[in-house]
Structure formats: C-alpha cells, structure tokens
Amino acid sequence: MNSPALQSRLPLVGTTVFSTMSALAVEHGAVNLGQGFPDFGCDPRLVDAVSEAMRAGHNQYPMMTGVPALREAIAAKIAALYGRRYDAAAEITVTAGATQALTTAILCCMHPGDEAIVVEPAYDSYAPAIALAGGVVVPLEMDLGEDGYSLPWQRLAAAVTPRTRLIVINSPHNPTGSVLRRADLDQLAAIVAGTDILILSDEVYEHMVYDGQQHVSVASHPGLAARAFVVSSFGKTFHVTGWKVGYVAAPAALTAEFRKVHQYNVFTVNTPMQHGLAAYLHDPAPYLGLSDFYQRKRDLFRAGLAHTRLRLLPADGTYFQCVDYRAVSDLPEAAFARWLTTALKVAAIPVSAFYTSKKETGIVRFCFAKEEATLRLALARLASV
C-alpha cells in the first residue's frame, strides 16, 4: 500500500554533509577531522556530578525554563565574564543544545515574509529554521582575503530592508575560525540603532579564542544585548556534545516569547545533567582554561600542516582550521574532501556546504578537537599533500 503524498516543509534539505562525510570516514577507516566533536572524554568530575544528581532523585521533569540552580550559575558566569547581569528567572532558558535554542529563537520572532540576514559561510541549521518560520534568508557573504575572513559591514548595512527582522551572527565563527572584535559589534549596533531588528548571536565557541585575545560577547554590548538572543552550549565547552544541553540569554520580553515556543517544541531538558552542570559550574577553571587547552592542539596541527602545500587560513577561535588547497588540486571542494577521505584517509568538510549558493572557494575545514595521537596520525597521512 502506498503512503499518502507529503509536501515537504524543507524540500531543499537532504542528509547533512557532516553525516555524509562521517559515514564515508567510517567506510574507509579515515581519521575523522570532519564533524566537530572531540574524540576524548569529559572531566570525570562532571560525570560524577550527574551520577550524584541521579542518585539524589533528580530524575523527573524539571521546570520548563531550566533547573533554577543552573540558570543562576549561567547568569553568574555571564555577569563575571561579560559584565551583564541577566535575571535568571526571567532571562535565562536552558535548552536541548544550541541548535534547539537557535531554532526556537528564529521560530518565536519571525513571521512569513520576514527577512533574516545570515552571514555566510554559515552553520547549516540557520536557513532551515528560517524556512520553517516562513522567513526569507538574505545571505551575506564574508570577505575573503589573504588575512582570512572578515565581515563586510557596508554590504551588511546595504542588505537591511524594511522587512529585515533578524540578523544572525556567529562568533567565534564556524567554519572559518574568525572572531568579531569590539569594533565589529560597534558597527553592528550602529546599523540596527533605531530599528526593530533583532540579533541572534551564536556564541557556542565562546571559550575558544586564541593568542591572548578575549571573546567579545553580544551580552557585553548594551546596544546589542537589549535586542539579542545570545546562545551558548555546554556540549562544546565541556566536551559532551552528545548531552545536548545549551542555553539562551535574552531580555525578559524576548525570553517570554522564546519560552512560548520552547515549551511546545521541547518543553524541558534532561534533569540530572542540569543539576550536574550546575554543580560543576561552581569551579570556573575548566572553561577559563579551555582556550589554552585548544590552542595547544591548534598550534600542533598548524605546525604539521605548514609542511604541506595546503595554505593555512587564520584560526583565531573555535576548534576548526580552514585550508586553501588550490595549490594541490583543482577539484571542487566536495570532490577534494572525498579524495582526502578515501585516498589519504583523513576526513574534512567542504566549506561550500556552508553557503546557500554552494560557492566554491577551494577551501576545506578540519576539526582539531582531537587527541594529540589522532592529530599526529592525520598529519602523517597529510604529509604527502
């Protein structure tokens, strides 16, 4: 018997490039530097804290907005790092990972026909969420020069129309590894001043900024924080991507609308993990030391790649390294990534996958959130490039 026909809500969406490349890596026994997750464990103290929460009976539904102790810990962390005190009860919501936070923020504020300016290359969840809301993606391509990627502020200002409802930014930026500075946020604030445009700031790599620089959060900018959903992720910060716990900080009026959607698309988030994270956050050392931890991996990986014909782009933040391979091959990015995976046994992600136009720039992305032995094995395989 045939199933009834179904008109897709996302007709342009298929299997993600991350799933495709990970499956190819498994098939060919490749070192997987494609999908962005660590191959090492989290701090055993965090596992112990979650186990203790389970044994203490924290196994039923928590509050829809999140365990109060965790929301208080998040508010305290943001205040200490960025100088803005969000009200834990009215302005912090715990989410089922950052992707759910991003999608919920988009669904709560966009209506059919509204436009969202999305900086590209862009994380692949933004555009489908905008489509589900009936919105229109207005892609804004980053400038790419010898010094890497930068945001073209004049073109962003020119992209604003009366229908612009949302601007989606991401810093530290996936996939490029670029970061926004204070002057960048000042320019963004000048563009949206006097408008009703909202900001969705994806800051899941906030604790991975290198070479002595500091992450500049939208939360730290009064002119932007008043109109922004600021999203982060415990999965990225504490090496537990499979736990899918994140959060969003936003002014009370925005949070009230966010929670209207949140309560029906996920309702609430894993209880013992929330209690465990709340206890673990009492010690800031794990996240304050994260930049140094990942910079050692970045520097090891970059030093190895420097002996190849791959041209290294700057990697100021995140745990990703982009390389220009045009001195090696004239293959399209997806084909080159497949060749790396099948011939050299190292998986990478084509940056073209992060553009709505599938723009080709001759660049692939590696993830260096791996054990040193994993990185050295990958470098040995890439040595012939």
What does the pLDDT profile of the chain (385 residues) look like in tens digits? 788 988 899 888 877 888 889 899 999 999 999 988 899 999 999 999 999 999 999 999 999 999 999 999 999 999 999 999 999 999 999 999 999 999 999 999 999 999 999 999 999 999 999 999 999 999 999 999 988 999 999 999 999 999 999 999 999 999 999 999 999 999 999 999 999 999 999 999 999 999 999 999 999 999 999 999 999 999 999 999 999 999 999 999 999 999 999 999 999 999 999 999 999 999 999 999 999 999 999 999 999 999 999 999 999 999 999 999 999 999 999 999 999 999 999 999 999 999 999 999 999 999 999 999 999 999 999 999 9
Q: Tokens 């207005």 — which residue?
A: 138
The token pair that represents 195 in the structure block: 């408008």
Domain parsing of the chain, residue ranges: 17-42+288-382, 45-283
Burial 233-250 (b: 16+ CB within 10 A, else e): bbbbbbbbbebbbbbbbb
Closest C-alpha among 231, 317, 243 to residue 275: 243
Side-chain-facing half-sphere of 353: CA atoms under 13 Å:
26
Domains 17-42+288-382 and 45-283 share a fold: no
CATH class of 45-283: alpha beta
17-42+288-382: which CATH number, 3.30.9.10, 3.40.1160.10, 3.90.1150.10, 3.90.950.10?
Answer: 3.90.1150.10
As a whole number of Å, the end-to-end CA separation of the chain is: 53
Return d(Cα 248, Cα 74) in angstroms, integer: 10
Phi, psi of 64 (to 5 degrees): -55, -35
Q: Which helix (H) or strand (E) holds 100?
A: helix 97-109
pTM > 0.85: yes or no = yes
Q: According to the model, what pLDDT value does residue 178 have?
A: 97
**Residue 53 CB coordination number (10 Å):** 22
Find out whether 316 and 179 touch, Cβ atoms under 8 Å.
yes
Q: According to the model, what pLDDT value does residue 35 have?
A: 86
